[in-house]
Amino acid sequence: SIYIGPFPIEQIINPVSMKLTLPAWLGRIHPVFHVSLLKPSPHYDVDIEETNEPKNEYEINKKLDSRIYRHQRQYLVRWKGYPESEASWVKADHVNADRLIKKFHDKYPCKPGA
């Protein structure tokens, strides 16, 4: 079996389902998993404490498309350092790239969100 991770458990939905915090490049994957699909990560002796460090952000290489999905504008983005096959749909309010948004809509004025 192939596993990726580790990913932190965000919420215990019920005794057999866990919601994981997944990185943006896994945006197409539903974050709730049955425990049979998970395995414990290696144990590390670290103190868990709140930090003010920013969360990981992924840089957008370019916007490929836009759409309205469930009444929300989304952009299909290609992530810098990742192949186009890893492109994913991201809610507009999760995109911090005003210059790229303007450039995209200047090029495609008929796309949703222009």
What gap in Å lies between CA 75 and CA 63, rounded to an integer? 7
pLDDT score at 60:
78
Contact 104, 111 (CB under 8 A): yes
- Domains along the sequence of the chain with CATH: 1-40 (no CATH), 60-107 (2.40.50.40)
Mean pLDDT by 10 residues, the chain (114 residues): 80 85 86 87 55 60 81 84 81 80 82 72
Name the residue among 62, 15, 5 with its Cα closest to residue 38. Answer: 5
Residue spans of alpha helices (H) in the chain = 98-107
The DSSP symbol for 103 reads H
pTM: 0.48
